[in-house]
Amino acid sequence: MGPLPEELAEGLRAMRLLAPGTRAEGEPLAGGVSSDIWRVRLPDGRELCIKRALPKLKVAADWRAPVVRNRYEARWLARAAEAVPGFAPRLLGQDEATGTLAMEWLAPDRHPVWKAVLKDGAADAGFAAEVGRRLARLHAHAAQRPELSADFPTDSLFHAIRLEPYLLATARAHPDLAPRLEALAARTAATKRTLVHGDVSPKNILAGPQGPVLLDAECAWWGDPAFDIAFCLNHLLLKCLWTPAAAPAFLTCFEALAAAYLASVTWEAPAVVEARAASLLPGLFLARVDGKSPVEYLTDEASKEQIRRVARHLLANPPDRLKTIRLAWGEEIGA
């Protein structure tokens, strides 16, 4: 570790986590595209993690987003802790002036990133089911508290970070599917049910000793819970091309996560949520090859064409069951 940049130290002082006149040590962490993330050691030896939102994301496309999203991530962390203790890191403080927030440090040796676990071919259907179960509990908790919607006035932010770079950018790449993709974006934007995380991805889930821990709520939004479940399931489809030997196990995880989530839906009919998620998922699938945020581990055209073939078919023939997607993708890849 080296000296912490002064602007980050200022944020810690504003949060009263660092005393005036004292210094902290830190090291930048890799992996994020939307924020600077640091591991910090305070003078008394305590460790924590701090984040500062970036105005321009670290991707090839010109993708910008308001740094005020840091405020809403802090609010999401607080609400998640209430709804499902242990499902999110403990929030330690937030300073809007410097755009930083502080949360507990979760040691990597005890909290590996689920994405890395999947890369190694380790597919635990029980863990995937727990992700779905905890996500549904969080959605159910917030849905019973509609007054929380006032704390997340983030429609424009969600549009900038999710709907535009994923669905609308992909619509421009596939003009013949543009009406369908634009309709999915419009429906998602108009559906107001509960508190949505917006980036439920294996890279943002830690496999902790007490179960999954969800990170990185910069897209927090009061909207459609179907987005969260579709976004997460999408990654389990994509991972089948990353680690082909584990593809059947990844599809089992897909089934387990979906079933556990739907079994815990209480705020509306589970079949209604499933229908929205199932029709949205092919758009998100196609977006990971032709949107503004292509998945980094799929570089060969053959894999991209497999995704395009299945996604385009499902967008033209919208499914209302998640199982339909699992079967179509399994048939395509022979799993």
DSSP 44-80: TS-EEEEEEE-SB-SSSS--B--TTHHHHHHHHHHHH
Domain limits for position 94: 2-104
Residues near 305 by Cβ (< 8 Å), separated by ≥ 6?
none
Given the DSSP bridges, would you call strands 194-196 and 221-223 parallel, antiparallel or unpaired? antiparallel
**Residue 88 is part of a domain; what is its CATH number?**
3.30.200.20
Residue 59: per-residue pLDDT: 44
* 139 and 167 fall within a common domain: yes
Helix or strand or coil: residue 106?
A: coil
Residues 68 and 153 in one domain: no
Residues 217 and 297 in one domain: yes
| Rounded Cα gap, residues 50 and 58, in angstroms | 18
- Alpha-helix runs per DSSP H in 216-246: 225-242
Burial of 149 (0-12, 13-18, 19+ CB in 10 A): middle
Whole-angstrom distance, CA of residue 106 vs CA of residue 283: 34
Average pLDDT of every residue of the chain: 93
Domain boundary (45, 76, 104) is at 104
Confidence bin at 335 (pLDDT 50/70/90)? confident
Task: Determine the 3-state secondary structure of 130 from DSSP.
Answer: helix
Q: Report the predicted TM-score, pTM, of the whole model to 2 decimal places.
A: 0.92
Is 23 domain-assigned? yes
> Of the residues 68, 85, 104, which one is the last residue of a structural domain?
104
Three-state DSSP at 209 gives coil
Give the pLDDT of residue 53: 76
From 82, 104, 126, give the residue that closes a domain: 104
Task: Give yes or no for a contact between 257 and 249, defined as CB atoms under 8 angstroms apart.
Answer: no
Are 121 and 52 found together in one domain?
no
Give the confidence band of 171 by pLDDT, cuts at 50, 70, 90: very high
What pLDDT is stored for residue 218 in this prediction? 87
Report the C-alpha dihedral over residues 314, 237, 37, 113, rounded to 10 degrees: 160
93 strand-pairing partners: 102
The number of distinct structural domains making up the chain is: 2
Tokens of 214: 């969800």
